[in-house]
């Protein structure tokens, strides 16, 4: 993938969907599904960032910034994209930031070099006036990540910025897919799309 250097009631309803991706640690995936269900799923009418209304909200930062869930996210996303060649991961701030960092720390723990970057929604108007912070992406193969995908709009904003900056985006990976059009939108841009967990995995179907 990269270059190398030197608990609760909801548990019973958690199921794992079958997807034809690289082999994942099933125990870790099941534990992540349980944690997200307990920590991040909020029921009630909400308006999503895409403008769509839903009967539930997945506040995934409660998981991506959690001491037990974040390491699982980093580990599993690296497994999910193990057959893709990239040197850095990141996406649109704020949702993608802890996801990319979880991957960075997971890689470092295994002696693997993986950098991270942050994509702003717009070019910064002062200082260095950058839209992409962190490692230089020009000429690099990078992975675009997201915490939760609805329509794919957020991560595609990041993809556009990365391409304009001269990066080669190898694919898109997200933690939770709401199954509301993200895959179709992302694949329309010529990118492969993968996710760790579906609505079914979280008992939301």
Residue set of the binding site for orotate? 150, 178
Residues 202/57, Cβ–Cβ less than 8 Å: no
DSSP state of 63: H
Binding-site residues from annotation for 5-phospho-alpha-D-ribose 1-diphosphate: 120-121, 124, 126, 146-154
Sign of CA dihedral 24, 25, 26, 31: negative
Q: 154 — phi, psi (to 5°)?
A: -65, -50
Interstrand relation of 115-119 and 132-134 (parallel, antiparallel or unpaired):
antiparallel
Binding residues: 120-121, 124, 126, 146-154, 178
Taking residue 160's Cβ as centre, other Cβ atoms within 10 Å add up to: 13
Q: What is the distance, to the nearest Å, from the Cα of residue 186 to the centroid of all Cα atoms in its chain?
A: 13
């Amino acid at each position: 993938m990269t270059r190398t250097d030197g608990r609760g009631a909801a548990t019973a309803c958690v199921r794992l969907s079958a997807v034809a991706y690289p082999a994942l640690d099933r125990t870790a995936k099941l534990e992540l599904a349980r944690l997200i269900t307990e920590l991040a799923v909020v029921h009630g009418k909400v308006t999503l960032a895409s403008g769509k209304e839903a009967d539930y909200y997945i506040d995934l930062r409660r998981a991506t910034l959690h001491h037990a869930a974040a390491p699982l996210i980093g580990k599993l996303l690296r497994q999910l994209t193990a057959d893709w060649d990239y040197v850095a991961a990141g996406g649109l701030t704020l949702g993608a930031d802890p996801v990319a960092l979880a991957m960075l720390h997971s890689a470092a723990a295994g002696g693997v070099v993986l950098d991270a970057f942050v994509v702003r929604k717009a070019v910064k108007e002062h200082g260095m006036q950058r839209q992409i912070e962190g490692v230089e992406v020009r000429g690099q193969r990078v992975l675009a990540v997201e915490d939760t995908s609805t329509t794919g709009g957020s991560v595609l904003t990041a993809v556009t910025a990365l391409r304009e900056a001269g990066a080669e985006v190898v694919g898109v990976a997200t933690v939770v897919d709401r199954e509301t059009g993200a895959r179709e939108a992302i694949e329309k841009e010529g990118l492969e799309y993968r996710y760790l967990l579906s609505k079914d995995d979280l008992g939301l179907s």
